[in-house]
Structure 1
Amino acid sequence: MNTAITTVLAFLVTVGVLVVFHELGHYLAARLCNVKILKFSVGFGRVLWSRKRGPDQTEWALALIPLGGYVKMADEREGDVLPADVERAFNRQNVWRRIFIVMAGPAANFLLAIFFFWVLFVVGFPGDKPVLGPPAKGTPAALAGIVDGDTIVAIGEDSVQTWSEVNLRILQEAVNRNRVAVEIESPGGRRGTRTLDLTTTDAGDFDQTLLPKVGLRPYVPHTRAVLGPVSPNRPAARAGLQEGDLIVAVNETPVPTWVEFTAIVRANADKPLKLEVERRGTRFNVNATPEADGKGKSRIGLLGVAAGDELKREMERTRTRVSYDPLTAIPKAAYKVWDLSIFSLKMLGRMITGEVSWKNLSGPITIADYAGQSAQAGWITFLSFLAFVSVSLGVLNLLPIPLLDGGHLVYYFAEIVKGSPVSERTMEIGQRVGLALLLGLTFFAFYNDINRLFTG
Structure 2
Amino acid sequence: MDHLFLNVWSTVGSVALAILILLVMITVHEFGHYIAGKIFKFKIDEFSIGFGPALFKRKSKKTGQVFALRLIPLGGYCAFAGEDGLEDAAETPSAQPPAEEPFPEMAQKPENVPPKNVPQAAEKPVDKSGYFTNRPCWQRIIVLISGALMNYLLAVLLIVICFFAYGQTMVAVYKAEPTAEIPAEYQLQDYDVLLAADGQALYLTNDLAIILNGKKA
Q: What TM-score comes out, normalization by structure 1 length?
A: 0.29
Q: 2:151 aligns with which of 82, 87, 109?
A: 109
> 1:155-234 maps to which residues of 2 (within 5 A)?
159-163=202-206, 183-184=211-212, 194=215
Give deviations 1:290-342, integer Å, cap 9, x for gaps. Answer: xxxxxxxxxxxxxxxxxxxxxxxxxxxxxxxxxxxxxxxxxxxxxxxxxxxxx
CA separation of 1:9/1:29 partners in 2, compared to 1, >3 Å: closer, same or farther?
same
| In the alignment, structure 1 residue 30 sits paired with structure 2 residue 72 | no
1:85 partner letter: D
State the 1:85 CA deviation. Answer: 3.1
Question: What residue ranges of structure 1 are gaps of 5+ in the alignment?
Answer: 132-150, 167-181, 186-192, 197-456
Identify if the C-alpha distance between structure 1 residues 127 and 50 changes in structure 2 by more than 3 Å, giving closer, same or farther: same
* Residue 71 (1) aligns with residue 114 (2): no
Whichever residue aligns with residue 45 of structure 2, its letter is L
Q: Assess if the C-alpha contact under 8 Å between 2:44 and 2:79 holds in 1.
A: yes
Q: Name the counterpart of 1:40.
A: 47
1:59 and 2:66 are equivalent in the alignment: yes
**Between Structure 1 and Structure 2, which shows a larger proportion of helix residues?**
1
Following TM superposition, by how much is the alpha carbon of 1:50 offset from its aligned partner in structure 2, in angstroms?
A: 1.9
Q: Deviations over 1:103-155 (max 9, x none)?
A: 11000000011110000111116869599xxxxxxxxxxxxxxxxxxx99579
Q: In structure 2, do the counterparts of structure 1 residues 194 and 78 end up closer, same or farther at CA, with 3 Å as the change threshold?
A: farther
Q: Which moved more, 1:94-103 or 1:5-14?
A: 5-14
Aligned to 1:93: 135
Provide Cα deviations, 1:380-427, integer angstroms capped at 9, x if missing partner: xxxxxxxxxxxxxxxxxxxxxxxxxxxxxxxxxxxxxxxxxxxxxxxx
The alignment's C-alpha RMSD in Å is 3.7
Q: Which amino acid aligns with 1:70?
A: Y
SS of equivalent to 1:56: coil
The 1:36–1:153 alpha-carbon spacing in structure 2 relative to 1, beyond 3 Å, is: same
* Kept after mapping to 2: 8 A contact 1:152/1:184: no
| Cα separation, 2, equivalents of 1:155 and 1:63 | 57
Shift of 1:48: 3.2
Please give the TM-score of this superposition, normalised by the length of structure 2.
Answer: 0.57
Contact kept? 1:41, 1:70, Cα under 8 Å: yes
- Please tell me whether the aligned partners of residues 154 and 160 of structure 1 are also in contact (alpha carbons under 8 angstroms): no
Deviation at 1:87, TM superposition (A): 0.6
1:20 aligns with 2:27: yes
CA distance in 2, matches of 1:56, 1:78: 20
Secondary structure at the aligned position of 2:129 is classed as: helix
Distance, in Å, in 2 between the alignment partners of 1:11 and 1:59 is 27
In structure 2, the partner of 1:119 is: 161
In 2, the alpha carbon distance for the partners of 1:48 and 1:87 equals 32
Superposed CA deviations along residues 5-31 of structure 1, whole A, max 9, x for unmatched, are 533442332122211111110000000
Alpha-carbon offset, residue 49 of structure 1 = 2.8
Flag the 1:183–1:88 CA change in 2: closer, same or farther, 3 A: same
Q: 1:4 to 1:89 in 2, by over 3 A?
A: same
1:88 deviates by 0.4
Give the 5 Å matches for 1:180-329. 183-184=211-212, 194=215
Which residue of the other structure, out of 126, 132, 136, is the alignment partner of 1:84?
Answer: 126
- Residue 160 of structure 1 and its aligned partner are, at CA, apart by 2.4
Change (3 A) 1:13 1:22: same
- The equivalent of 1:323 in structure 2 is none
Contact 2:19 2:74 (C-alpha < 8 Å) held by counterparts: no
**Structure whose alpha-carbon radius of gyration is higher:** 2
Residues 152, 183 of structure 1: 8 Å contact kept: no
Number of the residue aligned with 1:11: 18
